[in-house]
Structures are given as C-alpha cells and as structure tokens.
Amino acid sequence: MIWMDILLLNIIVLVYILAVGYLGYRGWRETCNSSDYMVAGRKIHPYVMAMSYGATFISTSAIVGFGGTAGLFGMGLLWLTFLNIFVGIFIAFVVFGKRTRKMGYNLSAMTFPELLARRFDSRFIQYFSGLVIFLGMPMYASVVLIGAARFIETTLAINFDLALLFFSVIIAAYVVLGGLKGVMYTDALQATIMFVGMAFLLLMTYSHLGGIAAAHQALTDLAPLVPANLAAMGHLGWTAMPASGSAWWWTLISSLVLGVGIGVLAMPQLVVRFMTVKSGRELNRAVLIGGVFILMMTGVAFVVGALSNVYFVQHDSVIAIAAASGNSDSIIPVYINRAMPEWFVYVFMLTLLAAAMSTLSSQFHAQGTAVGRDVYETLVGVRGGRSILITRIGIIIAVVVAVILGYLLPPSIIAPGTAIFFGLCAAAFLPMYACALFWKRATRAGAIAGLVTGTFVSLFWLVFVHQKEAVPLGIAKMILGRDVLISAMPWPVVDPIVVALPLAFLVTVAVSLATQPPKAEHVEKCFEGIE
C-alpha cells in the first residue's frame, strides 16, 4: 500500500511540475522586452492578476506560520483576515491600485521604486528603495522557504536542508527565464490549487471535530488549559482576545494584525501587479476574486490552526504547541499529518508547494528588478539591454541568500519574520507612496525625508527596543549593557510599525510643507487622467 501512495504522490508532483514548467515556458516565449519581463506587457487578464496578487500575498508563511501562530494565539488572529480583505484587497485595488496603474503608465514606470522615483523626480529614491527591497526581503523569502521545507520534511521524511535546496532551484529556473509573465501565469495555477486544498482542509477539520458548533464550543472550553506562562502574558483562551494592554495583546495587535494588515499596501511585489493590467475596469473585476481568495486562505488557516488544539487535546491530551514540541511553525504540518488521511496529506503538500512557489517567485523577481532596474540602471544611467542580465543575476543572488538564511534562522520564525518585512515596507514606503498618489503638494525632499525616517526608525526599534529581535541580536546588550533601551511596558512589545509609520508620515508632510512645491507641469503629467 505504501508503494501505491508513493506512486500517487510522484504522479501528482510530476503533473504539477510539468504544468508549472509549461507556464514558465509560455512566459519566456511571450517575453520580448523589458516591459514584458518587468510588468508583463501591461495586458494581464484580471483573473490572472487577482490570483497572482493573492498567491503572492499568501504563502506558506500565512498557512504554516500564521496558521501555527493561530494555534498559539487563537481566533483573535481573524482580525488580520478582516484587514487583509478590507485593506489588502478593497483599499489596495480600488483606492491605491487604479491610481498606481495610471500613474505608472503616465511615467512609464516598471517597478515600485521607479514609480516613486519618477513621481518625485529623484534618483536617490529609486536606488535607496531598491536597496531596502533587496536587503530586507531575503528574510521574508527565507521564512517562506522554511514553511514549505518543514512540511516536505514532515511529510516525506526528506532531510530539511535537501528539501530547501531542491525547492529553491526549481523556482529560480522559471523566474530567471520567464520574468513577470512566467511568474503570474504560474501564480494563477498555484492559487487555484491553494483554494481547493484549503477548502478541503476546512471541511475535513470540521468533520473530524463533530461540526462547526461542536468544534468551536470545544475550543472555548479549553481555556483552563492555557499554560501558566502564557496566562501571565495575557492569554485568556483560544476564542477570546488577550487581556487588553497585556504583552500578548500588544504582540497580536501591533506586530501580527497591524504589521501585516497595513504593511500589505506597500509591498513592492504586490504593488507592481497593479501596473500589469490595461485599465481600471480590470482592477474592479479583480476585487471580488481577490477578496474570496484571501478569505479562504487566511480565514481557513487561522480557524484550523486554532481548532488544532481541540484535536490534540482529544487525541493526545496536550495543546497544539506541546504536540509540536514547542515550535509553532510545526503545528499545521503535525496536525495535517496526524489528523488527515494519507491521500489528503499528499494533496495538501501540493497546496503548500504552490503557496510557497507563488510567493517566492514574486519575491525573487522583485529583488532582481530592484538590483537590475532600480540600483544598476539608476546608478549607471543606462536603460535596457544589460539590465535584464543584471536582474537575472540579482534573482540568483536573492535565491542563494534566502537559502542560506533558511539554514540559519531559528524555530518559530515564520510569522515574526513575515511581520518584520511587512512592517518595514509600511514604514519606509507607505507615507511616500500615499502622498505620491493623493497629494500633489508632496515634494521630493518630503518623500526622501519620510523614506529615510521610516527605514531607520524601524531598524532602530528592531535592534534596540523590540525585545523579540533586540534580545537575540544582542547589539543593545553589547552597546548599552542591557537587553533593550526602554524596559517599561508596553514599549518592549510594541511593534516598530506603531512608532515608525506615524513618524514617517509626519516627517513627509512637514518637510513637504516647508519646501518648494514641485513644478506644476511635472505634477500634471503624473496625474494626467487621474480623477
């Protein structure tokens, strides 16, 4: 029987890889110039765009990392699902997306940093933003890699290091060759697989636990089993929000919900997708598709993650984090391998492979274009030709760095690692991006000041104040002689985004008002056709 399972798995994986290979090849055949490679020729179908956006947004980080975090925190994480849909889809597509698409077309921009740079007529903005992306994104990419590799390790009993390496090579191949068209075509396929896999996971979880009402009541009844150390931090049970103002509450709200929920608006690999469709009507058509997809992906992951506690208590008399040996990143893989039939484990592995590949391909493409288009072309002053080669080299470097970090990063890093990058992007880019689209008075000096403020305040807070990063890094300890700069609660558990984002907005506005307005003719060119 085992050999039949192995044969089935091999057939499923082979068909999937062949389909991905074909779509990557199709992207390569249709890529004739820089526009095709970087913005997919600006003619992508709304279904492909919406599913590519969703698949890029949702990765193994959301399913494995945040699903596991829900196993630890409970249903409170569903607030992130709400923000993901309202901010990450509706606000992003309808409010930001339409203006981004039109302004990108007006200015012939092909990357997110290039859009900002041309809006404010600043080479510094382009190469500085490109460097932030290239240097900041590898950790996010590595945690997505870890999520997929952990599931492969658990399911197939393959060495983690080998799974990580093999997986990376496959993705690198079609991203380097196919550009953004290849990435988006494969994303659409992968998103469809992810949707089906998560739908089955939800149905089978409720079936195992006796139905919706019984499952949620059982989860509520587990509140007395909250470990003493978590209860001391504010954990009140898996169907209740943490105690208001507690360390647990600040971690949930500021780092996980706000950091990721708002940070999505300024994610470079997502913003560029608005520039791939030919009109605002395509973005309107994509809203419903994207919203339903995100609801299914994050909502199911968080619900199943929380409900895994019920399963483990019923079968092993321990809560989920104990069943996963203290590593929240292993909760979802362990639950699926324990609770689900063998055939579903194999099918779900395909779901996770699709989730990881779709996100990683976009991350590597964004890092490559950051090096080729935003840094190299901007500093050298030469457009086209060689920059695609530099972009491809940048993609390969990004893959190598992500793999190395995947070997080095500690357990339970997937959700925090994701939140760090989302928060950094929000603080660094969102004030400048919002002002670029909605405020004609915003100036080059204001944009630069906000960009630099958001970037360095975020980094400072991570290194010296936010204890989750400051303590392991040890830089504050080495320089100041103590773990964090500010030890009084709640500051050590307040995420950098809570401080850096408002400050960057204030600096952007204040400096813009204090400096000369931009030239009227340039502003009119930027906003041509934008209501």
Q: pLDDT per residue over 284-328, tens digit each?
A: 778 888 888 888 888 898 899 899 999 999 998 889 888 888 878
Q: What is the mean pLDDT of residues 100-119?
A: 87
From CA 183, how far away is CA 188, in angstroms rounded? 9
CA torsion 57-207-305-339 (nearest 10°) is -110
Structural domain contains residue 529: no
What does the pLDDT read at residue 268?
Answer: 82
Contact 97, 283 (CB under 8 A): yes
What is the C-alpha radius of gyration for the chain, rounded to an integer number of angstroms? 23
Q: Which of 291, 386, 309 is nearest to 81 (CA)?
A: 291
Name the residue range of residue 31's domain.
2-211+244-425
From CA 278, how far away is CA 194, in angstroms rounded? 27
DSSP annotation of 243: P
Structural domain contains residue 35: yes
Amino acid (1-letter code) at residue 403: V
CA torsion 445-447-451-454 (nearest 10°) is 100
Structural domain contains residue 462: no
pLDDT tens sequence across 170-188: 777 666 665 566 677 777 7
Residues of the chain with pLDDT > 90: what percent? 19
Compare 41 and 443 and report the one with higher pLDDT.
443
From CA 128, how far away is CA 140, in angstroms rounded? 19
DSSP annotation of 442: -
CA torsion 282-283-284-286 (nearest 10°) is 90
- Domain with residue 409: its CATH number is 1.20.1730.10
From CA 453, how far away is CA 187, in angstroms rounded? 34
What does the pLDDT read at residue 156?
Answer: 65
From CA 69, how far away is CA 419, in angstroms rounded? 12
What does the pLDDT read at residue 414?
Answer: 58
Structural domain contains residue 253: yes
Contact 446, 511 (CB under 8 A): yes
- In order of 190, 192, 239, 364, the CA distances from 41 in angstroms are 21, 23, 47, 19
From CA 274, how far away is CA 137, in angstroms rounded? 20
Compare 256 and 235 and report the one with higher pLDDT.
235
Contact 16, 353 (CB under 8 A): yes
Query: And the tokens for 231?
Result: 């209860």
What does the pLDDT read at residue 125?
Answer: 92
Give the torsion sign (CA, 262, 264, 267, 271): negative
Q: Which of 188, 183, 147 is nearest to 167 (CA)?
A: 147
Has residue 119 got a pLDDT over 80?
A: yes
Q: Which of 322, 374, 336 is nearest to 126 (CA)?
A: 374
Contact 49, 277 (CB under 8 A): yes
Q: Which of 197, 131, 157 is nearest to 358 (CA)?
A: 197
Structural domain contains residue 178: yes
pLDDT tens sequence across 3-44: 566 666 667 767 777 777 777 666 666 665 555 555 555 667
Q: How many domains does the chain have?
A: 1
Compare 320 and 273 and report the one with higher pLDDT.
320
From CA 34, how far away is CA 30, in angstroms rounded? 12
Amino acid (1-letter code) at residue 512: S
Has residue 332 got a pLDDT over 60?
A: yes
Structural domain contains residue 491: no
CB atoms within 10 A of CB 509: 18
Q: What is the mean pLDDT of residues 70-90?
A: 85
CA atoms within 13 Å, Cβ hemisphere of 376: 20
What does the pLDDT read at residue 33?
Answer: 55
From CA 14, how far away is CA 20, in angstroms rounded? 10
Query: And the tokens for 140?
Result: 């996010």
Instruction: Tell me how many helices (H) and strands (E) the chain has.
Output: 28, 0
Contact 136, 427 (CB under 8 A): no
Compare 55 and 438 and report the one with higher pLDDT.
438
Has residue 430 got a pLDDT over 90?
A: yes
Structural domain contains residue 184: yes
What does the pLDDT read at residue 217?
Answer: 93
pLDDT tens sequence across 483-522: 888 888 788 888 888 899 999 999 999 999 999 999 999 9
From CA 150, how far away is CA 136, in angstroms rounded? 23
- Distance from the Cα of residue 181 to its chain's centroid: 20
Structural domain contains residue 262: yes
Amino acid (1-letter code) at residue 24: G
CB atoms within 10 A of CB 122: 20
- In order of 65, 345, 527, the CA distances from 151 in angstroms are 11, 10, 47
From CA 34, how far away is CA 189, in angstroms rounded? 24
Amino acid (1-letter code) at residue 2: I
String of b and e for 366-392 (b: at least 16 CB within 10 Å)? bbbbbbbbbbbbbeeeeeeeebbebbb
What does the pLDDT read at residue 411?
Answer: 60
pLDDT tens sequence across 456-487: 999 899 888 888 777 777 777 888 888 888 88
Q: Which of 22, 409, 360 is nearest to 168 (CA)?
A: 360
DSSP annotation of 226: S
